[in-house]
Amino acid sequence: MHMLSGEDGMNSKLHSARAQKTHCTCRIHIARPIKLRETHALTPSPTCAFFNPPTPSSVPSDSAPLKFGILGAARIAPPALITPAKSHPEVEVYAVAARDINRAKEFAEKYEIKKWYGGQSGYQDLLDDREIDVIYNPLPNGLHYEWTMKALAAGKHVLLEKPSADTAEETRRMVELANQKVLVLLEAFHYRFHPAIQRVKQIIDSGELGAIKEINAALCFPKGFITDDDIRMKYDLGGGALMDCGCYPLSCVRYLANSNPSAVVSASAVRFQKDARIDTGASADLLFPPPNPGGEPVKATIKCDFSVPNLLGFIPRWPDVAVRAVCEQGSVELFNFPMPVIYHTITVSPAGRKTRTEKAYKFPPSSGLKGEEWWTTYRYQLEAFVDQIRGRAPNSWMSSEDSIANMEWIEKIYEANGLGSRPQSSFQLP
Ligand SMILES: NC(=O)C1=CN([C@@H]2O[C@H](COP(=O)(O)OP(=O)(O)OC[C@H]3O[C@@H](n4cnc5c(N)ncnc54)[C@H](OP(=O)(O)O)[C@@H]3O)[C@@H](O)[C@H]2O)C=CC1
Ligand SMILES: O=C1OC[C@@H](O)[C@H](O)[C@H]1O
């Protein structure tokens, strides 16, 4: 079956041409081509990116693929690791562990993973598997610390889901152990690795729009997306909207401001009816140091929500998933900073000049940076992670200090909104 939902023949041809260019083996293209005013790239097919990426025709013979083991049959594992791994010649998703052996087996069979572990000792058995080089940790936030510490202690590199832990102290300890063991530990803030957010940062840093004055970022989901029994609603597992989706806008404003905040000006939260320690939505006003000596502090607002109600109860709202920076001589906005491969727009409005729209699915050829237009944020992230393990220079990197600082400010916002930090793990390495 070859199904195209493009609006006209011209767009269909563009899609076919792209499929050939990237040697994409996808058979179903559901992306709706977009009419662009000024583009740097065409819109890739999310189907190709998320479900059926091209597979490499040859594997480099100089080094065996890194074998990854997954802790938990988590929903995020397929888009964040299993699918991106298919197009990475140096990655093999080799094993999975789940608390229930049948679940582990089912997951392994579904995703063609060679080995599975289960039962009470399943997670530890996976860590003890000497074949495994790297652990992907997509456990609930409240278990990130314990299982990352155990994985590092077992000598494995770790790709750790966001937010890195429940507290900054936990993140600090994981970073210390990784450094001590000379292992790579990366918090999976995938959006950072994509050209779209990096292009926005480049525009700001270039000074084209003058000094930055204000940044606003949001990540809000429609009501019903997160159910009451989800790990995100459980305090003991490190739940809460600020932890889950608020950590992105926070990370994003810190990234674009090139610094950490200097203060939380105000913070509020909507509390979950069944557990007042859980926020189903949160927002905070932050201040950042002035970009220039003697200048004004930069103002920032972050917002997250698990349950944005539909209009009139049934009409979904336009998703609030944008970051916008207002500078002295104009503004720049990136719509859909967390999932840019599906669709994104960078709108640059220089004061007194024409607004332009950019797209950035791939780095410009002159940069020498790696990537394909269909690469998801996760695929870019995996490339960088493997490069770092292999001792090659990645396209870009997110430092451990950055992860620690994000947790510090999550805690400061929870302190300011009255909910308090998530519980620190009592786990200690033997
Ligand atoms: N980078 C991204 O885009 C995203 C990141 N995430 C992050 O990934 C992590 C997992 O999220 P998600 O995949 O949605 O969650 P899931 O609930 O689908 O997966 C969590 C896994 O944790 C395991 N687990 C172990 N102990 C418990 C416990 N006490 N209660 C519940 N589950 C337990 C379960 O594994 P088992 O199979 O052993 O039962 C389960 O598969 C979170 O940290 C989240 O923030 C989530 C979504 C997107
Ligand atoms: O990391 C995330 O990004 C996407 C959301 O669906 C999810 O709640 C969050 O964990």
pLDDT tens per residue across span 217-236: 999 999 988 999 999 999 99
Nearest alpha carbon to residue 376 among 111, 113, 87, 112:
87
User: Cα separation of 367 and 395, whole Å?
Assistant: 10
Residue nearest to atom 48 of ligand 1 (CA): 76
Q: What is the rounded average pLDDT of the residues 257-283?
A: 98
Q: How many degrees, rounded to 5, is the angle at CA 138 between CA 241 and CA 247? A: 30
> Rounded to the nearest whole angstrom, what is the distance from the C-alpha of residue 237 to the centroid of ligand 1?
10
User: Cα separation of 93 and 91, whole Å?
Assistant: 7
Contact 379, 87 (CB under 8 A): yes
User: Which stretch of DSSP H or E encloses residue 385?
Assistant: helix 377-390
- How is residue 139 annotated by DSSP? S
DSSP, collapsed to helix, strand or coil, labels residue 421 as coil
CATH number of 191-377: 3.30.360.10
Residue 45 confidence class, pLDDT cut points 50, 70, 90:
low
More confident residue, 398 or 313: 398
User: Cα separation of 97 and 121, whole Å?
Assistant: 9
Any idea which ligand is nearest the CA of 188?
1
- Contacts (Cβ under 8 Å, ≥6 apart) of 28: 1, 2, 3, 47, 52
Question: DSSP letters of 219-258?
Answer: EEEETTSS-TTSGGG-GGGT--HIIIIIHHHHHHHHHHHT
Atom of ligand 2 nearest to the CA of 161: 1
Q: What is the rounded average pLDDT of the residues 254-273?
A: 98
Structure pTM?
Answer: 0.90
Which protein residues are within 6 Å of ligand 1, measured from CB?
72-76, 80, 98-99, 103, 138-141, 143, 161-162, 188, 190, 231, 237, 244
Percent of the chain with pLDDT over 70: 88
Residue 291 confidence class, pLDDT cut points 50, 70, 90:
very high
From residue 363, how far is each of 83, 302, 367, 396 by CA, in Å?
21, 27, 7, 12
Give the pLDDT confidence of 196-211 residue by residue, as tens digits: 999 999 999 999 999 9
Residue 397 confidence class, pLDDT cut points 50, 70, 90:
very high
Which protein residues are within 6 Å of ligand 2, measured from CB?
162, 244-245
The bridge status of strand 322-327 relative to strand 3-4 is: unpaired
More confident residue, 345 or 26: 345
Task: Write down the domain spans for the chain.
Answer: 3-50, 191-377
Q: Which of 67, 162, 234, 412 is catalytic?
A: 162
Mean pLDDT, rounded, of the chain: 90
HSE on the CB side for 424, CA within 13 Å? 12
The predicted structure's pLDDT at residue 56: 72
Helices marked H in 129-190: 141-153, 168-181
ipTM of this complex prediction, to 2 decimal places:
0.99
The predicted structure's pLDDT at residue 171: 98
The predicted structure's pLDDT at residue 41: 42
Residue nearest to atom 4 of ligand 2 (CA): 245
The predicted structure's pLDDT at residue 55: 78
Any idea which ligand is nearest the CA of 226?
2
Q: What is the rounded average pLDDT of the residues 115-126?
A: 98
Give the pLDDT confidence of 50-79 residue by residue, as tens digits: 877 877 765 555 579 999 999 999 999 999
Q: Is 162 known to be catalytic?
A: yes
Question: DSSP letters of 280-327?
Answer: EEEEEEEEE--SSTT-PPEEEEEEEEEEEPPBTTTBPPPP--EEEEEE
The b-or-e profile of 283-302 (16+ CB within 10 A means b, else e) is bbbbbbbbbeeeeebbbbbb
The predicted structure's pLDDT at residue 17: 31
The predicted structure's pLDDT at residue 63: 75
